[in-house]
Amino acid sequence: MRTDRRHITVPGITPLVDVVFLLIVFFVVVSSVVDLDRVPLDLPMPNPAMTMPPAERPAAVVNVVPGDDGEALGYRLDGQTYNPDHNGVELLRHALAVHLVADPNTAVVIRADRAARSAVVLPVLSVARRAATEAGLGHPVRVELAVEAPR
């Protein structure tokens, strides 16, 4: 007499739950890292609004950290804050050059407060030009100013 025993295996959902949990943790961590690079600013609003929405291209966003009376406390790029002195500006130039070497089509986006003086924004323009030279670009770097979208 022969006995035919068949084992029916039911796939467990434990590995699926583990993967879903890991994905949730990953997205929570990534979303908090993205917000670390944003400095709360009162961006200017052009009047009349003759700006175009940003194109889909790689960008290095330089935040001008606002201080008192329109001065800058520093410049922030990729979560790193650079002092507004000569050494900090040179370090910022090198960090921008790294971005431009990685992708020559990278645009430099400057986010500055509405009350910021042009004297604190101009060093970023100069740094972007010198970073393009350091990166060996055959063309000027594209510089964009971030403004508040019209409502």
Per-residue confidence of the chain (151 residues) as pLDDT tens digits? 566 667 777 777 888 888 888 888 888 877 665 555 566 766 666 665 555 555 677 888 888 888 877 788 889 988 888 988 889 999 999 999 998 999 888 888 888 887 778 888 888 888 988 998 888 888 888 888 876 665 5
DSSP string computed for 67-87: -GGG-EEEEEETTEEE-SSHH
Give SS3 for 114.
Answer: coil
Which pLDDT score is estimated for 98? Answer: 92
Cα four-point dihedral sign 34, 67, 115, 84: negative
* Sequence ranges of the domains in the chain: 7-151
Cβ–Cβ under 8 Å, residues 148 and 51: no
Rounded-to-integer distance, Cα 135 and Cα 128, Å: 10
